[in-house]
Amino acid sequence: MNEADSRDPERVCNVDDCNAWKQGEYDYCYHHKGLQETDGAPEGNQNAKTHGLFSSHDGYYQDLSDEEQEWVFDFTNDLLDRHRDYHGSEPDMFDKEALKNIAIDFHRVAHANGYFREKGLVETQFQQTDDGPVPVGDKLNEWAKEIRQYNESVYNRMKKHGLLEDPDTKQAQAEMSLAEALSDES
């Protein structure tokens, strides 16, 4: 009989033929503790957050410092003012939430961009000119593509909400189109 056979069954791993000691509050040893059923991570847990691209909007926002939350708040208000100016009406609750999420995503893209650059995962390409090197874009890799795609998504949502063109520009374009159509008929 070896030492493992003489261990108290209450303190030994619950896997058949494993006589290793249980780990902490687990019913299993170090090697089998993944079998333990748990409730998972606590609500709002951000422990795995690194760059933040895939965090929920609320989780990402709650994890920001007071200063960063204030930036998101101010940016949201700027978007709401732009909405009022461009559409001549008060945004409804859906628009307010959507514009807050756009502001959070602007912050998220900037944060992720800084994170990936700091880690050396995204690098700027330069072109040599007579005045010295000029940045011409990022070397495309998995993370640069992810940031670009996320950034395009933010701008597409702004466009969808009619926030990228002011009403005067739209009016001038419409008048030009009408004038062109009328001149074509003559």
> What residues have CB less than 8 Å from 102, skipping those under 6 apart?
79, 154, 157, 158, 161
Question: What is the CB neighbour count within 10 angstroms for residue 135?
Answer: 9
pLDDT at 165 over 90: no
Closest by Cα among 138, 142, 139, 135 to 53: 142
pLDDT at 25 over 60: yes
Q: What CA–CA distance (Å, rounded) separates 185 from 61? A: 55
Calculate ∠ Cα 145-111-119, nearest 5°. 70
pLDDT number for residue 124: 82
Q: What is the pLDDT of residues 29-86, one digit of tens each?
A: 867 766 666 656 566 555 555 667 778 899 889 989 999 999 999 999 999 999 999 8
Instruction: Report the pLDDT averaged over residues 82-103.
Output: 94
Q: What CA–CA distance (Å, rounded) separates 105 from 161? A: 15
Prediction pTM value: 0.60
pLDDT number for residue 127: 87
Q: What CA–CA distance (Å, rounded) separates 42 from 23? A: 21
Instruction: Calculate the average pLDDT of the chain.
Output: 80
pLDDT at 168 over 80: no
SS3 content of the chain, % helix, strand, coil (to 5): 55, 10, 40
